[in-house]
A and B are shown apart, each in its own frame.
Chain A
Amino acid sequence: MNLSKARNLFVSLATILILLSMGGNVSPVYASPTIGTVQKASGMAAVVRQGQTISATVGLEIRENDTLRTGPDGSIGVIFSDDTLLSLGPESALVIDKFVFAPREGKFSIALRMIRGTAAYLSGLISKLAPDSAHFETPSASIGIRGTKFVVRVEGK
């Protein structure tokens, strides 16, 4: 009995030590890092995260897999951590499928998916450092971005 308790304690301690030794690499899935912030918001504008709709206000943090959404009078402007700028006009929706900006690891990737509406995009560092890793999808086309400013309209169903 005492022996098995001692063994359990040892196993727990060992696990903690191993986890500690892995340093910052142990990060729970739900705590995905901030990849940008809302800089402008007007009218009905929201961020949908894991099924929850959060009303967009200036300063709201953006995460990977967030959906940006606006109503008939809404607009939203976001700045990503690599200085990419993105904004949506009214009646628009866009999913941030992927965003990786890790200069220390040399990892760069951005993938945005427009569902409907209008958007404006001004590329940041990712397009300059890894030109083949910046993508903007619409329901019918894929846009490869090599450092530029452009606007997109997608006529929804």
Chain B
Amino acid sequence: MRQWRNVLFVLIFLCLLIGCGAHRAKRDLIVLLPDQNGKGGVITVTTQGGSQILDKPGYGIEVEDLNKPPVAPKPVEEKEVNDVFVPALSALPDRASRFILFILYFEHNTTKLTHESSDLLSGVQKTIKSRNSNEVYVVGHTDLVGTEAYNVDLSSRRANYVRDLLLSRGIKPKTLFVSFYGKARPLVPTKDEVPEPRNRRVEVIVR
């Protein structure tokens, strides 16, 4: 009987020493939240053991160890999010809008805007005027079809086309800063020679 009691003491001692159950493993927790539009973006969580995609707001991923793959996304109770993250979340500054971004898309191998993007132009014009902006970046890109030199030229024509459209809408030339990068900076990475509509674009960044 006394022997058993000793064994028990030893077990308790070992538990205290190594943390036995009561002590949770150290875990990183990453939770995706809805943004102000109620939408969530996409984040990928990668360890040396593997990778998980998190694309549902309110879901979280736990990472126990850098050698293990991240645990598959699970819903996280709002209460848990609040318990853990309220101090951090309440320190988050108010939404900033020092810049407004418009992305205008083009038809394949042309300086012709898609219909949706043509419709965006008056919004671009209004934004520049209402912000009284004197700093607007107009940045041209292409997808990865064709040679580098050809695409640098195409991206230049696209950017200058948008510049001309804005000038014709009464934006002052000195507020517009044009640059272009050909196929060097795709928004959606693809292999060479892959057509990708989302890469045929001009970014208009309004300060």
Residues of A within 8 A of B (CB): 39-40, 42, 75-79, 81-83, 85-90, 92, 103-106, 117-120, 122-125, 127-132, 138-155, 157
Residue in contact with B34 in the complex, picked from A82, A105, A145, A149, CB distance below 8 Å = A149
Q: Say whether, besides A81-B98, A83-B99, A149 and B137 are in contact (CB < 8 Å).
A: no
Closest to A133 in B: B185
- A83-B97, A138-B63, A155-B26 known; A105-B179 Cβ under 8 A: yes
Report chain B residues within 8 Å CB of A152.
28-31
Interface residues of B, count at CB 8 A: 52
Cross-chain pairs A/B with CB under 8 angstroms, 30 sampled = A75-B90, A77-B92, A81-B98, A83-B98, A85-B92, A85-B93, A85-B95, A87-B88, A88-B91, A90-B87, A103-B205, A104-B177, A120-B85, A120-B89, A120-B91, A122-B35, A129-B187, A141-B47, A144-B43, A146-B44, A148-B32, A148-B35, A149-B34, A150-B33, A151-B31, A152-B28, A153-B30, A153-B84, A155-B26, A155-B27
User: Does the CB pair A125–B205 fall under 8 Å?
Assistant: yes
B34 partner residues in chain A, CB cutoff 8 A: 149
Chain A CB within 8 A of B123 CB: no
CA distance A19 to B99 in the complex (A): 33
- The residue on B at minimum CB distance from A117 is B88
B14 beta carbon closer than 8 Å to chain A: no
Smallest beta-carbon distance B59→chain A, Å = 10
Residues on the A chain within 8 Å of B104, using CB: none
CB distance from A142 to the nearest CB of B (A): 5
- Interface bits B172-207 vs A (CB < 8 Å: 1, else 0): 000001010100010101000000000000010100
Residues of chain A within 8 A (CB-CB) of B164 are none
Q: Which of B's residues lie within 8 Å of A, judged by CB?
A: 26-35, 40-47, 54, 63-66, 70, 81, 84-99, 101, 137, 139, 177, 179, 181, 185, 187, 189, 203, 205
A118→B88 contact, CB < 8 A = yes
Tell me, in angstroms, the Cα distance from A146 to B188 when the chains sit together. 11
- Give A153 to B45 CA distance when docked, in angstroms: 13
| Contact status A130-B91, CB under 8 Å | no
